[in-house]
A and B are shown apart, each in its own frame.
Chain A
Amino acid sequence: MNPYVTAGYSAVLVTLAVYAAWLVIKSARLRRAILKAGSTEAGGRA
């Protein structure tokens, strides 16, 4: 395989995979934080 082709495809796939993973992790963390805040509020009210 041409090394430039390998480098080009790798750059695209790795960058997109890293960005996608960051998005998924960030989204999951925020969701957990919202759920935690919601349960704390509900506990406080009870």
Chain B
Amino acid sequence: MTTTLVRKAVGVTSLALVAATVVMGLFVTPPDVVQGNLARLLYVHPPVAWVAYLAYGVTSIASGLYLWRPTRSLKWDRIAVASAEVGVVFTGLTLVTGSIWGRPAWGVWWTWDARLTTTAILFVLYLGYLALRRIPLSPETRAKRSAVAALIAFIDVPIVHESVVWWRTLHQGATVATLGANTKVHGIMAWTLLLGFIAFTMVYIWMAMVRYRVETMSAEIEAHQLEAWEAERMAEADTSDAAIGRLLDPGTRAPDEVPTDQGVAPR
């Protein structure tokens, strides 16, 4: 009951914060001196990219906790998949919003720049993680293999983040990390960016909570179906045993077999 209330509160708050970000980003903040109105895209692009990092961070922590014997529980596996799926959605949005910004700013929708390429690899790696989970296996085997895959995929996250430092890239360097006392960003622009980060983080929390619930209920239904299937097979096995018993010992009749004088059942 408390969880439901928390989930609802997070949902309503995130909706309000996203609405506020959109209003601030589109109508309240001034246009940028260099980029003009195009800079408004930057109130959503870095926040969605941050959420993707956060989601994969949670997935790798949960995967590590599953692999570590003292904390091994399928709960961690469900948290890992819930967070990874939301992360894939946000990585897709990072690529799309970046591409939409890149067309007018750089003149191309896509370029094999280090930041863009490593982000695309990240997207494919976690799509692979989700595909791996579709292989029919026992929950424990699936959880173990997925956890290993998630930890391997996470290696790309620091590479994506540092790509603008390690290689000469078209993509700009770290901007948010350099926001400080000497920054020349207009106050309301910086606050709107911060609002965007908080809003999309709240959206991530809500989505991960609901996705976790979906995963838990799916596991419950799967277990229930397995029990029903086992019960059915057991009943079938009992019927077969009884039939074999009658074949081996013809004196024994099933209750529904009515004996007749001529051995022919009456019409």
Contact = CB atoms under 8 A, between A and B. Distances in A.
B36 interface: yes
B142 interface: no
B101 A23 contact: no
B234 interface: no
Interface in B1-47: 18, 22, 25-26, 36-38, 40-41, 44-45
Interface stretch (B124-132, B155-163, B208-216): B208-216
Label chain A's interface by main secondary structure: helix
A46 interface: no
Nearest to B27: A1
Contact of A5 (B40, B206, B210, B214): B40
Given A4-B38, A20-B207, A11 B100 contact: yes
Contacts of B100: 4, 7-8, 11
Contacts of B207: 19-20, 23
A23 B44 contact: no
A23 B18 CA distance: 18
Contact of B41 (A5, A26, A30): A5
A13 B43 CA distance: 13
Interface residues of B, number: 33
Nearest to B210: A23
A8 B210 contact: no
Interface residues of A, number: 23
A27 B220 CA distance: 13
Contact of B203 (A4, A8, A9, A16): A16
Contacts of B93: 11-12, 15-16
Central interface residue in B44, B89, B96, B214, by most chain A CB within 10 Å: B214
A28 to B, nearest CB: 10
Contacts of B57: none
B22 A4 contact: no
Contacts of A4: 38, 41, 100-101, 103-104
Interface of B: 18, 22, 25-26, 36-38, 40-41, 44-45, 48, 89, 92-93, 96-97, 100-101, 103-104, 203, 206-207, 210-211, 213-214, 217-218, 220-221, 224
Given A8-B101, A9-B26, A37-B221, 17 more contacts: A1-B26, A2-B38, A4-B103, A4-B104, A5-B38, A5-B40, A8-B44, A11-B93, A11-B97, A19-B207, A20-B207, A23-B207, A26-B214, A27-B210, A27-B214, A30-B218, A37-B224
Interface of A: 1-2, 4-5, 7-9, 11-13, 15-16, 19-20, 23-24, 26-27, 30-31, 33-34, 37
